[in-house]
Amino acid sequence: MIHRNSYTVNNQKLNILQEAHVKKYQDENRNILKEGCKKWVHKKCSGLKRLTKDSDFQCSRCQGTARPINGRPQSEVHVGSDKLDVVASFCYLGDILSAAGGCDLATTTRVKTAWKKFKELLPVLLSRHLSYKTRGHVYSTCVRSAMLHASETWPLTKPNLQRLQRNDRAMIRQICNVKPEDVATTRSNELLTLLGLEDLNLILKERRLRWYGHVERSSGAIKTALDMQVTGSRGKGRPRMTWKQVTERDRKDWKLSTTDPHDRNTWRSGVRSAMRAASQLPGRGSTDVDVAPVPAR
């Protein structure tokens, strides 16, 4: 027995009343909240969609519509006499841009491309007739370059960096013929030294800082976009770091805050010196080693 609003009713009658109330509300309003949105771009939002007469309601990002700063969502954008369709994502010069922002989709796409190149070059990368350093050079030139294409412009988050490092180390272990039972006891730094490679995070920082110098010296639209202040209110919680904030953090980590990026030679020299200093930190080890090829069986 349940006591509700000074009336005593049994469970069966209460369920009937609740079902009737929900049905009446659904028939009158047709916007009852029903289930979570299945689209990945909506997972960090409210996670809800509404049941309407024609189709399931979704947010503007899930519908593939653009939302201006001061306006309603729209499915088409007119630039002069041209009409542009609004899509969830598109490829531009090999980089994937998505409506959700960030570089989640871009890093996932580049990882898939890197694995495709890795499998194509597997006979060379696993050849026992080549030294480890030669194999590392082939891997860096053909596979890593495909994975890090356009990485200069990525505002990487921790999950993005972990995704890149996880796949990079998996390929390196395969090149060095590390068995699954030996993964836990094999240090990644030792394998990088064996192949003559730098740590992936250091390469990403160097690329971002090198591109940062180009942007700061530029006088075109790219510099205008970097310094542009977007108006509007900010949501609750700390927002994701922008590319500019990520590069400022890199400058602080590598002690380049006082180096002028407008002086091209000084900036390039400073970035290279900081890269060499970071690669020689304790625990990283030197990469200037060569290992004799393993005799063929």
Q: What does the pLDDT look like over 286-296, one tens digit per residue?
A: 433 333 343 44
Rounded Cα distance between 115 and 147, Å, is 8
pLDDT band of 32, cuts 50, 70, 90 = very low
DSSP structural state of residue 61: H
Domain of residue 269 covers: 205-218+242-278
Question: In terms of domains, do 107 and 38 share one?
Answer: no
In a domain, 121, yes or no: yes
In a domain, 291, yes or no: no
Question: In terms of domains, do 191 and 211 share one?
Answer: no
Question: In terms of domains, do 54 and 111 share one?
Answer: no
Residues 6 or more apart from 110 whose CB is under 8 A from it? 146, 147, 148, 149, 150, 151, 164
Question: In terms of domains, do 105 and 193 share one?
Answer: yes
253/47: higher pLDDT: 253
pLDDT of residue 229: 83
The share of the chain scoring above pLDDT 90, in percent, equals 49
Residue position matching structure tokens 């979704």:
58
In a domain, 288, yes or no: no
In a domain, 257, yes or no: yes
Question: In terms of domains, do 109 and 140 share one?
Answer: yes
Question: In terms of domains, do 150 and 185 share one?
Answer: yes
pLDDT band of 13, cuts 50, 70, 90 = low
Work out the average pLDDT over 208-232.
Answer: 90
DSSP structural state of residue 30: -
pLDDT of residue 265: 95
In a domain, 72, yes or no: no
Question: In terms of domains, do 110 and 150 share one?
Answer: yes
In a domain, 75, yes or no: no
In a domain, 163, yes or no: yes
Work out the average pLDDT over 2-22.
Answer: 55
260/59: higher pLDDT: 260
Residue 30: pLDDT above 50?
no
Question: In terms of domains, do 108 and 192 share one?
Answer: yes
Residue 54: pLDDT above 50?
no
Q: How many domains does the chain have?
A: 3
In a domain, 253, yes or no: yes
